[in-house]
Amino acid sequence: MDIGMGQALLIALAAYLGSSTWFFGVGYFTVYRPLIGGTIVGLILGDVATGMKLGAAINAIYLGFISTGGSLPSDLIFAGYIGTALGMVAGLDAPTALSLVVPLGLLGSGIWFFRMSVDSLFVHWADAFARRGSTRGVAATNVWPGQILLLLLYGIPAFIIVYYGSGAVESLISAVPPKLVEGLAMVGGMLPAIGIGMLLDYMARWRLVPFFLLGFLLAVYLQLPTLVIALVGLIAAVLHVQYSGALETVSAPDKAPSPQLPPPSERRLVTRRDMLGAWFRWLTFSHSSYNYERLQGLGFAHSMTPIIARLYKTREDIAAALQRHLVFFNTEPNVGAVVHGVTVAMEEQRASGATQITDDAINSVKSGLMGPLAGIGDSMTQGLITPTLLALGIGLAEQGNLAGPILYVLLESAAIVGISYFTWMQGYRWGRTAVERILQAGLLQPLTEGASVLGLTVVGALTATVVQLSTKLSITVGPQTVLLQTDVLDPILKGLLPLSLTVLVWWLLKRKKSPLAVILVVFAVGLTGTWLGWLGWS
């Protein structure tokens, strides 16, 4: 396939958009993911189905990807956008493309650190605007410099690699011995086991492993459609939560938390429009200028600008409020949005003359709550909801169904936006006791348990479809030749090798081997196994 300069530019732009996380407030959970990135690249290159399938396969490798506190093991934009484009333009089959994607992801992983270091400069520009009491200046500093930087950091390499690199990849693949290409394809089929193994390491407890096997068997022996397996998983989840006692172990709250605040109807300084504006700014721009010095500090200040503009009128008061919120802040942005609601309520009280609401009081509530909520939030959004829905989307996409990426975006966005809105408004309504109300409502544990069951069932099914491994070994006894794969292994359990590989990866990770070491093992095994003629498709 040839690629035009226009197409390469569009892919570069799409790679920036994917990296920027601002896209309708759900970018990190949607366009950032290779499943969606691959689909977009396919659209640009005029072959949606191929791009979607390749993106889905790539995403399977990164199914266990969880970024916490700005630590990122691999770059999903390089893997998803650039990987799909390179694979498609160079005309590689999916498994071969997958084996090139992993080094690409590692190549890009330095960009994130560079970006977080450079963004640290911009917060000082925001400090200067804050001292002058300019809410607009703070907002603009959060949006523009960081985004222009990202456009350069992702757009330029994406354009260069996609436009000039595919020829190089083509000639590279044609220059290496065919045995090696075959080996790379074998490695590509094995790599999704790493993503699934990482996810199992995070999600699976021993007592929940049966649900993983259930999904696997339903896919292998009944070939049920992914959505049907997801429904079976959902039913299993509901039954499991009802009958395992997960609902009963919920401890009754020690004491009913008493609201410290008068209800919002009696406060009335902040309008509903201000609230929505502030919430939307946070949802969209929380990570716009993410940096090591203050992480989401600038994003927090930006989100508070409509509230500050409403509550404070003198330049000194506005400056003080902006500076108050430009300090270090970091949380999981959706569950953690309860902190923002609480902060708005405190600022409102302060502006209406409550002298006990000092800078210290506001700061200690923010810095005290942001950590614990990030712990819960990361476990929920990145650890459960996202991989479960991704596994579903990848499964559908692998079958060539465009509903895969579309359904994923819709469900994921609804979940993320819903959580963010709910926690923000609860925080505003109840003040800091909202945190106790939400956590003590006793829904968290059964939800986590149920989501794990559903997730493991879907991931089990995905294992059966995306992990590929097969042996060519045969044993000759006298006149008879016994093929190990078709005559011995398949009658025992179809998909035994992919399943074993996945469990092996999980076990290695449990034994505290680093994912990178496991990747190297997979490459070594796949390449030598193919070279020796042990692995392959007979």
Q: What are the residues binding other proteins (CB under 8 A)?
A: 66, 68-71, 73, 113, 120, 201-202, 249, 254, 292-295, 327-328, 330-332, 367-379, 382-383, 432, 435-436, 439-440, 445, 512, 514-516
Shortest Å, Cβ 469 to other proteins: 25
How far is the C-alpha of 83 from the C-alpha of 100, rounded, in Å? Answer: 7
Indicate the DSSP class of residue 2: -
SS3 letters for 475-519? Answer: EEECCEEEEHHHHHHHHHCCCHHHHHHHHHHHHHHHCCCCHHHHH
Shortest Å, Cβ 260 to other proteins: 10
How far is the C-alpha of 342 from the C-alpha of 496, rounded, in Å? Answer: 52
Shortest Å, Cβ 407 to other proteins: 26
Both tokens of residue 352? Answer: 């209406």
> Is 194 or 527 the residue whose CB approaches other proteins more closely?
194
Indicate the DSSP class of residue 350: H
Helix (H) or strand (E) holding 483: strand 480-483
Shortest Å, Cβ 243 to other proteins: 18
Shortest Å, Cβ 107 to other proteins: 17
> Is 53 or 324 the residue whose CB approaches other proteins more closely?
324
Indicate the DSSP class of residue 361: H
> Is 333 or 404 the residue whose CB approaches other proteins more closely?
333
> Is 103 or 225 the residue whose CB approaches other proteins more closely?
103
> Is 323 or 399 the residue whose CB approaches other proteins more closely?
323
Shortest Å, Cβ 527 to other proteins: 24
> Is 277 or 372 the residue whose CB approaches other proteins more closely?
372
Shortest Å, Cβ 502 to other proteins: 18
Shortest Å, Cβ 519 to other proteins: 12
How far is the C-alpha of 388 from the C-alpha of 453, rounded, in Å? Answer: 10
> Is 34 or 383 the residue whose CB approaches other proteins more closely?
383
In one-letter notation, the amino acid at residue 321 is A
Direct distance between the N- and C-terminal alpha carbons of the chain, in angstroms, rounded to an integer: 30
Half-sphere exposure of 148 (CA within 13 A, CB side): 6
> Is 16 or 290 the residue whose CB approaches other proteins more closely?
290
Both tokens of residue 443? Answer: 């829904």
How far is the C-alpha of 45 from the C-alpha of 4, rounded, in Å? Answer: 9
Note the helical H segments in 62-134. 76-77, 83-89, 94-131
> Is 229 or 435 the residue whose CB approaches other proteins more closely?
435
Shortest Å, Cβ 378 to other proteins: 3
- Look-up: residue for tokens 């025992």? 492
> Is 183 or 446 the residue whose CB approaches other proteins more closely?
446
Q: Residue 71 CB: number of other CB atoms within 10 A?
A: 10
> Is 43 or 106 the residue whose CB approaches other proteins more closely?
106
* Cβ atoms of 107 and 161 closer than 8 Å: no
Shortest Å, Cβ 187 to other proteins: 21
Note the helical H segments in 191-325. 192-203, 209-221, 226-243, 272-285, 297-311, 315-325
Among the listed residues 510, 521, 460, 425, the one whose alpha carbon sits nearest the alpha carbon of residue 224:
460
Both tokens of residue 192? Answer: 């999704």
Both tokens of residue 64? Answer: 């266990």
92: left (phi over 0), alpha (psi -120 to 50) or beta: beta
Shortest Å, Cβ 490 to other proteins: 35
Both tokens of residue 335? Answer: 């569950």
How far is the C-alpha of 197 from the C-alpha of 510, rounded, in Å? Answer: 9
Shortest Å, Cβ 115 to other proteins: 13
> Is 332 or 412 the residue whose CB approaches other proteins more closely?
332
